[in-house]
Amino acid sequence: MRPDGEAALAEAIRSARAPLSVTGGGTRLEPGEGQGARLDTRGLTGVTLYEPEALTLVVAAGTPLASIVDILAAEGQMLAFEPPASPGSTIGGVAAANASGPRRLQAGAARDALIGLRFIDGQGNVVRNGGRVMKNVTGYDLVKLMAGSRGRLGVLTELAFRTAPIPQSRLTLCLPARDAAAAIPALTAALGGPFDVSGAAWLPGRGALIRLEGLEGSVRLRAESLRKTLAPFGDPGDAQDDPWPLLRCPNTHDPQADLWRIICRPSQAAALLAALPEPCSLDWGGALIHVALPAGELPQLPRFSGHARRIRGAQPAILPAPDPVAARLDAGLRARFDPRGIFQGAP
CATH number of the domain within which 204 lies: 3.30.70.2860
Asked if residue 328 is part of any domain, the answer here is no
pLDDT band for position 248 (cuts 50, 70, 90): confident
Instruction: Please report whether residue 339 resides in a domain.
Output: no
Residue 219 lies in a domain: yes
The torsion angles phi and psi of 201, rounded to 5 degrees, stand at -150, 175
In this predicted structure, the answer to whether residue 253 has a pLDDT above a threshold of 70 is: no
Domain termination site, one of 135, 165, 195: 165
Residue 57: pLDDT band (50, 70, 90) is very high
Judge if 38 and 161 occupy the same domain: yes
- Which residue type occupies 258? D
Percent of the chain topping pLDDT 70: 95
Lowest mean pLDDT among 24-33, 131-140, 211-220: 131-140
> Do 155 and 21 belong to one domain?
yes
Q: What is the pLDDT of residue 347?
A: 41
The pLDDT score that the predictor gives to residue 3 is: 87
Residue 139 is predicted with a pLDDT of 52
Claim to verify: residue 194 and residue 70 sit in the same structural domain: no
Q: Which helix (H) or strand (E) holds 116?
A: strand 114-120
pLDDT surpassing 80 at residue 301? yes
Q: How far apart are CA 51 and CA 67, in angstroms?
A: 16
**Domain ends where: 147, 165, 183?**
165
Question: Which has more pLDDT, 178 or 134?
Answer: 178
Mean pLDDT of 281-302: 95
251 band by pLDDT with thresholds 50, 70 and 90: low
Residue 268 lies in domain: 250-319
Let me know whether 50 and 142 are in one domain: yes
Does residue 337 sit within a domain? no
Domain assignment of residue 267, yes or no: yes
Helical segments of the chain, H only: 6-15, 65-73, 91-97, 104-107, 110-113, 142-146, 180-191, 216-230, 244-248, 269-274, 324-337
Distances (CA, A) of 201 to 46, 234, 254, 283: 34, 16, 22, 4
Q: In this structure, are residues 58 and 51 in contact, taking their beta carbons and an 8 Å threshold?
A: no
Q: Is residue 197 part of a domain?
A: yes
Residue 140's pLDDT is: 62
**Same domain, residue pair 159 and 175:** no
Amino acid at 177: A
Domain annotation covers residue 338: no
- How many Å apart are CA 37 and CA 53, to the nearest integer? 42
Judge whether residue 130 has pLDDT over 80: no
| Model pLDDT, residue 11 | 93
Least confident of 141-145, 174-178, 249-253: 249-253
| Residue 278 maps to a domain | yes
Report the domain count for the chain: 3
Please check the confidence at residue 43 and state whether its pLDDT lies above 50: yes
CATH number at residue 124: 3.30.465.10
Looking at the fold, whether 61 and 124 belong to one and the same domain comes out as yes
Whether residues 209 and 261 fall in one domain: no
Residue 274 near residue 304 (C-beta atoms within 8 A): no
User: Of the candidates 221, 242, 263, which is a domain's last residue?
Assistant: 242
Q: Are residues 227 and 255 in the same domain?
A: no
Q: Is 196 left (phi over 0), alpha (psi -120 to 50) or beta?
A: left
Do residue 289 and residue 211 come from a single domain? no
Question: Looking at the structure, do residues 13 and 107 belong to the same domain, yes or no?
Answer: yes
Averaged pLDDT for residues 1-26: 90
Share of the chain above pLDDT 90, in %: 76
| pLDDT surpasses 90 at 133 | no
Q: Are residues 238 and 194 in the same domain?
A: yes
What is the rounded CA–CA span in Å between residue 248 and residue 258? Answer: 18
pLDDT band at 136 (very low <50, low <70, confident <90, very high): very low
How does DSSP classify residue 284?
A: G
Of the candidates 162, 198, 166, 168, the residue with the CA atom closest to the CA atom of residue 78: 166
Confidence grade of residue 137 (pLDDT, cut at 50, 70, 90): very low
**What mean pLDDT, rounded, does the chain reach?**
91
Cα-Cα-Cα-Cα torsion 233, 237, 241, 244, nearest 10 degrees, comes to 20
Are 31 and 103 part of one and the same domain?
Answer: yes
Mean pLDDT of 83-96: 92
